[in-house]
Amino acid sequence: MIKSTLCKKLSLGLLVAFAGACFLSLGNAEASVLYPGVGKKPPVTWKQPAETGKKTPSTDSKKDTSKSEERSTWKKSQNADSNIRVGLASGVVQASISSVNGMHVFGVDDNRDMGDFRSNIVANLSVVGNTIAVNGKNSNKSSLKFVPVVTGGQGKIKYNTTEYRGEIVATVVGNKLIIVNLLSLEDYVKGVLPSEMSPSWNMEALKAQAVAARTYALYTKNQKTHLGDGYDLCDSTHCQSYEGMSGESSSASAAVDATAGLVMTYDGRPIYAPYHASSGGVTENSEDVWGNNLPYLRSVKDDDSQSPYHNWSVKYSAAQVQKLLSAAGKNIGQLKSISLASPNGGANGTLSSGRAAGVKFVGSGQNVVLTSQQVRQIFGLKSSYFTVRTQRPATIPVKKTEKNKKNKGNTIDAAPAAMQDKELHVENSSVEVIFDGHGFGHGLGMSQYGAKAMADAGKKYDEILHHYYTGIDIVKRY
C-alpha cells in the first residue's frame, strides 16, 4: 500500500510568496450584490430556524457531499473528478467566514436558506454542543455552507485571513469544527502549483507540474485517504500544499488553464504521480523506495545539472552517529565500522539505479543494516542517492603505514565504501562519517529541476511527463 508519508513533499518547499493584493482590488464593485430574489437586507440577516431540536450529526461525509452539491456555485460538471473537497482545519472551536462578494448561508442537512451576509461582513462561528452558533446566535445546525453570491468562478470566500475560490462548509464533529473548501479541481490546482514549483520557471515545466499535481490530487481523492476526515485532501504537504487564492500566480494559473482536465493514467486509471525537487541524476524505481512495484515509476536518467542540490555532503562524528541511531531505536553501542550494504541481499550496496541500497553499521553491541530510506530519515539526508566515507580528524595522528600513501591526507577512506567493497573502520568516537549525495527528495516520478532542464532545452510538457512516468497516457478527464 502506498503510504501517505511518502507524499511527494519530501521535496524542497519551493515556496514563492505571492501577495494576494491583486485580488483585493477585484470584486469591490460587486460587494453589495446580494443573492437574486432575496431582496434588501440589513448588513447581516441571520435567520433563526423555525424548527429546533431534531438534529442529525453530519458525520456521514458522503451524505454531506451529496447534499452540499445541490446548490453549489462551483458545480460546473456532472463529472465527479472535476470537484474536490479540501480540509482547511479540523479540531477548531471557532472560525470567521466572510466574502468580499457577499455570501449566502445554507444548512447542509436540509439545504435550508439561513440568510445572507453583505460584502465583508464576518460570520464568526462557534460551537454550541453539536451545533454551530453564528455571531452568538445558535443556528441549530451541525453543518453550514457558505456560498459567495457571485458565481462563475469569480466568487471568493474568506476563512479567517485567507481567500478561497468555491465554497466553505463548516461542520461540527465531536464538539469541534471541521472547515472544508469545496471547489473545482482546476481552481484547486491553481492554489497548489506556486507552492510546488516557482511560477517563474519555464511554462512547459509549469504545465507538466500542473498535470502532475492534478493527477496526484485525483489519485489521492480516489484512494479515500481522508474520507474519514470528511474531505478528499488536506491542505498541507501531507497531500499537497494548498494556500487558496493567496497562493495563486498568473503564470501558474495559465499553465493550469492550458492543461485543463488533463490527467496521467495507466490502464485507464489516474496514476499515483509523485514528484520531487531534484533526482541527483537518476530517478528511482518505486519498489526500491516503498516496496511496491508500479510499472510507471521506473528509474530514468535525468539532467540534474541545474539543481542546487546536485551535490551535497553531511558530516557527523561517530558519537553523533551512535546517538542518532540510538534515538531511532537502533542502539549499536560504539560504532566500529560502516559500509554500504544491501539489506535484502545483493552484493555491492547499491540499487539498479545506482542509488544506495542501505548502510551497515557495525557496533560494539550489535550490527544493524538499514535501508537507504531509513538512513535518509535518521540522518536527515536530502535523498537516498549517497555514498559514505569516513575521515579522521586532524587531531588523530596518521599511522605510519598510511603516511606513504599518496593523496591520503587526513582522510582514511576518501572513496565510497561501495566502490572499495569493504568496511570503513572507525577508530574512535571522534572519527567523522560523511554522506556525500545528490538530489533532494525521494527520487520517484518527475524531478522538478529535471523538468525545468528539459523545458529549457525545448521539450514540451507531455514529453517531460512521458520521460518521468513510464508508459502513461495523458487524457482529458473532464
Helix, strand, or coil (residue 182): strand
Nearer to Zn ion, 192 or 239 (CB): 239
* Binding flags for Zn ion, 210-239, as an x/- string (CB under 5 A): ------------------------x---xx
| Number of Cβ atoms within 10 Å of the Cβ of 124 | 13
Q: Which is nearest to 145 in space by CA: 64, 81, 232, 78? A: 64
Residues 172 and 58: their CA atoms lie apart, in Å, by 7
CB of 74 to Zn ion, least distance (A): 21
Nearer to Zn ion, 88 or 105 (CB): 88
| Number of Cβ atoms within 10 Å of the Cβ of 188 | 29
Helix, strand, or coil (residue 371): strand
- One DSSP character per residue, 256-273 reads HHHTTTEEEEETTEE---
CB of 235 to Zn ion, least distance (A): 8
Q: With binding defined as CB under 5 A, does residue 182 bind Zn ion?
A: no
Nearer to Zn ion, 239 or 434 (CB): 239
CB of 228 to Zn ion, least distance (A): 12
Nearer to Zn ion, 91 or 365 (CB): 91
* Binding flags for Zn ion, 237-276, as an x/- string (CB under 5 A): -xx-------------------------------------
Map 405-421 to HEC letters.
CCCCCCCCECCCHHHHC
Nearer to Zn ion, 88 or 357 (CB): 88
CB of 234 to Zn ion, least distance (A): 3
Question: Grid coordinates 488533463 are at which residue?
Answer: 262
CB of 220 to Zn ion, least distance (A): 7
CB of 449 to Zn ion, least distance (A): 25
- Which amino acid is present at 359? V
CB of 239 to Zn ion, least distance (A): 3
Q: Which is nearest to 371 in space by CA: 355, 391, 382? A: 355
CB of 272 to Zn ion, least distance (A): 14
Nearer to Zn ion, 88 or 340 (CB): 88
| Letter string b/e over residues 278-317, b meaning 16 or more CB atoms within 10 A of that residue's CB | bbbbbbbbbebbbeeebebbbbbebbbeebebbebeeebb
Residues 183 and 73: their CA atoms lie apart, in Å, by 9
Q: How many residues sit close enough to Zn ion to count as binding (CB under 5 A)?
A: 3
CB of 85 to Zn ion, least distance (A): 12
Question: Grid coordinates 599511522 are at which residue?
Answer: 399
Q: Where are the alpha helices (DSSP H) in 225-357?
A: 250-258, 287-290, 318-327
Own/partner long-range contacts of 65-68 (Cβ < 8 Å, ≥24 apart):
67/108, 67/109, 67/111, 68/108, 68/145, 68/167, 68/169, 68/182
- For 37, counting Cβ atoms within 10 Å of its Cβ (0-12 exposed, 13-18 middle, 19+ buried), the class is exposed
Cβ contact 219:273 at 8 Å = yes
CB of 399 to Zn ion, least distance (A): 54
Nearer to Zn ion, 220 or 299 (CB): 220
Query: Residue 84: enclosing H or E segment and its boundaries?
Result: strand 83-92
- The residues of the shown chain that bind Zn ion, judged by CB under 5 A, are 234, 238-239
